[in-house]
Structure 1
Amino acid sequence: MRPRTRLPRALQGQVFHVQSGAARGVSDKRMRGRDLQRPFRGVRVDGPLDTLRDRCAALSKVLGPQHFFSHVTAAELWRMPLPTRSGDLHVTAVGGRGKIRRPGVVGWERVDGEMPTFELAGVPVLGPADVWCQLSTQLSREWLVAVGDFLISGERTDLGRRPPLCTAEQLAEAVGRHGTRRGSKALRWALGMLRHPVDSPRESLLRLALIAGGLPEPEVQLEVETAARVRHGDLGYRDAKLIIEYQGDEHRVSRARWLQDLTRVQLLEDAGYRVILVGADDLRDGARALIARIRRILASDD
């Protein structure tokens, strides 16, 4: 068997359009080689195509200047927390021209209105505030709040909190641009429920469940002076000296995180606070059992 012809150095390990390959002397037969992936018509990939960013980079080779990634695809590129992931790529065309129609791609179009875009990981992406507005047709209003809290809080990492992707004012401006389109009612409701800083979407969902259950709204990241510097509870009622801590899977699988949590809970309790640890099961059925428990504690403090 004859060895495959090597690609030109400029194309090795790259995503490229077939026209670019032809211009560099790559034959049609070579571009049909099994070692090259063909995720979209007219596109070849010399290398893995494992991540969303890889797929977006491949599709971008056949997009026009009027196209950009939007909706849940843009949300994932911005690292927004979502309840589920979409397998298809979402692309919007502005100006009422060039709505994309390809397998594995959901095409949208926007005839009028400002749509600020950014280059992110080398591809055009709608700005985070406007992506949030688009999500109003794809998420529940509670999850819309959770994503909004993330946007104005910044992602929490082991090294600290990243800068917020946008401000509450920028989200309000985007809601204004969205106008009366579908999802506008949910957006206006969610805008009034945003809080910061919030560390996880489950904290947002827990806060909303407590409010929906008739409890007073708890403080987010309640600040407590402990024997070992200031600590923060996820949610809390200062007057009742009650803190509610949401424990996600990362608290269970990371030994370092588990030990940190133990120390933090002990410090909070030594400072005179009662700490309730909450998991995913506590949010089922509208968190009724948890709400009843918190209501009893708050009533006993009156």
Structure 2
Amino acid sequence: MTRQQLDVLVSKGEVVRVWFGVYATARPGVPGRLAALDLHLGQEAVACMGTAAQLYGFDVENTTAIHVLDPGVRLRSTVGLTVHQRLGAPLRRVHGRLATAPAWTAVEVARQVSRPRALATLDAALHTGWCMPEDLAAAVTEQRGRRGIIAARDLLPHADGRAESAMESEVRLVMIDYEVPKPELQYEIHSADGQVWRVDFAWPEARVAAEYEGVEWHSGPAEMKRDRMRVAGIQDLGWTVVPIVAEDVRRHPWRLAERLTNHLSRSRLAS
């Protein structure tokens, strides 16, 4: 194939350029982009940061660029590719590829994002089962002295693998920062007729529950009806259900904390 023929195929969208000198018949995902980078380098690229987090399944930042360790050959960061100098990073093979170890990856990402997203990253890393709390603690020690490590270290006691979404982690950080009593996570409420409803946050003694509702919460009328019936069932058991949306968490956290505290106080007074 001549260069001109290749250019024609690219212009028609029948072939896409992945990296310099490497093309594909369709735009590849992360594994394909890494494999293409291997071809470009002539050796295996080592994933790190958000790309490694994607391979492990705990990337809460929706990373689009490919992040790799400096391979020791001429490779520069460019659009869609970031090359990192990370001396001493432990490696692990995941899905057939080399990447920085899961706990190291989680802590490294947590060091460089905001506190809410850092806690979300640590929670997600535990949730996947790729690492345990002691692994995260060891990774913090290994990265001591690096920028952002103190903030990541301070969040470690609050990391909880029971969190099932990044926004649940952000909600929990509001509770931590504003000293709302610690809730149970993913708590199951049982009805007399055998139904079981699970809520994001619960204070069983006060019979108060809180649920994060994202924009995708209701994907249709049937789902909305089912959720309304679920909430009604929980309320029939004497529980107060507090809905939480993103604006509560990111724009008015103090109001959210006050609302939760007020509900907890009223429930305790009533009992």
Q: Name the TM tier (shorter chain).
A: 0.7 to 0.9
**Gaps spanning 5+ residues in structure 1: where?**
1-25, 155-163
Structure 2 residue 208 is matched with structure 1 residue 242: yes
Match of 2:175 among 189, 192, 210: 210
Name the structure 2 match of 1:251. 217
Structure 2 residue 249 is matched with structure 1 residue 275: no
Name the structure 1 match of 2:37. 59
Name the structure 1 match of 2:54. 76
Q: Aligned partners of 1:42 and 1:222: how far apart in 2?
A: 53
Quote how far apart the aligned CAs of 1:147 are. Answer: 1.7
Name the structure 1 match of 2:230. 264
Name the structure 2 match of 1:128. 102
Match of 2:75 among 100, 111, 116: 100
Q: Confirm or deny: 8 A CA contact 1:196 1:220 kept in the other structure.
A: no
Q: Aligned partners of 2:92 and 2:208: how far apart in 1?
A: 43
Structure 2 residue 68 is matched with structure 1 residue 91: yes
Higher gyration radius (CA): 1
Q: Confirm or deny: 8 A CA contact 1:118 1:125 kept in the other structure.
A: yes
Quote how far apart the aligned CAs of 1:288 are. Answer: 2.3
Q: Confirm or deny: 8 A CA contact 1:233 1:243 kept in the other structure.
A: yes
SS at match of 2:70: strand
Q: Aligned partners of 2:46 and 2:236: how far apart in 1?
A: 53
1:117-196 pair list within 5 angstroms: 117-120=92-95, 123-154=97-128, 164-196=129-161
Amino acid at match of 2:263: I
Q: Confirm or deny: 8 A CA contact 2:110 2:119 kept in the other structure.
A: no
Name the structure 2 match of 1:161. none
Match of 1:48 among 26, 38, 42: 26
Quote how far apart the aligned CAs of 1:32 are. Answer: 5.8
Q: Confirm or deny: 8 A CA contact 1:81 1:147 kept in the other structure.
A: yes
Amino acid at match of 2:135: Q
Q: Confirm or deny: 8 A CA contact 1:234 1:246 kept in the other structure.
A: yes
Q: Confirm or deny: 8 A CA contact 2:127 2:163 kept in the other structure.
A: yes
Q: TM-score, normalised by structure 1?
A: 0.76
The 3 A distance-change label for structure 1 pair 102 and 135 is closer
Q: Confirm or deny: 8 A CA contact 1:57 1:123 kept in the other structure.
A: no
The 3 A distance-change label for structure 1 pair 68 and 143 is same
The 3 A distance-change label for structure 1 pair 60 and 264 is farther
Percent sequence identity is: 27
Q: Aligned partners of 2:255 and 2:77: how far apart in 1?
A: 48
Name the structure 2 match of 1:290. 256
Q: TM-score, normalised by structure 2?
A: 0.83
Quote how far apart the aligned CAs of 1:296 are. Answer: 1.8
Q: Aligned partners of 1:263 and 1:274: how far apart in 2?
A: 14
SS at match of 1:209: helix
Name the structure 2 match of 1:159. none
**Gaps spanning 5+ residues in structure 2: where?**
none
Name the structure 2 match of 1:17. none
